[in-house]
Amino acid sequence: MGQANQIRFPKWLWLTLAIVDGLGAAFALTAYVGNGMVAGDLIGLPGREHDISVAQHRASIGLLSCVLLQFGVAGSLFSYTDRENGYVGRFFVALLGSLALSVLCGFAIVLGLKAFR
C-alpha cells in the first residue's frame, strides 16, 4: 500500500489554504496586540483586576492562534513546493514564504480597515 493509493491535492488548494491561514494568523496577531494594549492600559486602575485578567487571557489565546496558524501556512507552503527539491530547501522556502505571506496579509488587513474607516 505505498504511494499508489495516496490522495493528491491540487496545488491551487494548498496555495488557497496558505493564504487563508495567513489571513487568520495576521488577524490573530492583531487581536494579540490589541488585547495587550487593553491590558496595559488597565493595569494600575483600581477594581479592574478581572478585566485585566480577561484581556491577558484573550491576548494569550490570540498569540497561540497566531503561532498555530503560522505553522499551518508553513505546512501548506511546504506541500505546495516542488517535491524534486530537497527537504532542506523546501523547508526554508516554506518558512520564509510563510513569514512573507503573513506580513502581506497583515498589510491587507490594515489597509482594509483604513479603507472602511
Nearest CA-CA partner of 64 in 35, 29, 96, 99: 29
Q: Which set of grid coordinates corresponds to residue 4?
A: 499508489
Contacts of 58 (CB under 8 A, 6+ apart): 31, 35
Domain ranges of the chain: 11-115
In the chain (117 residues long), the average pLDDT of successive 10-residue segments reads 70 90 92 94 92 94 94 89 79 88 89 88
State if pTM tops 0.85.
no
* pLDDT at position 58: 95
Cβ-contact 94, 70 below 8 angstroms:
no
* pLDDT at position 82: 78
What phi-psi label fits residue 44: left (phi over 0), alpha (psi between -120 and 50 degrees) or beta?
A: left
* pLDDT at position 94: 87
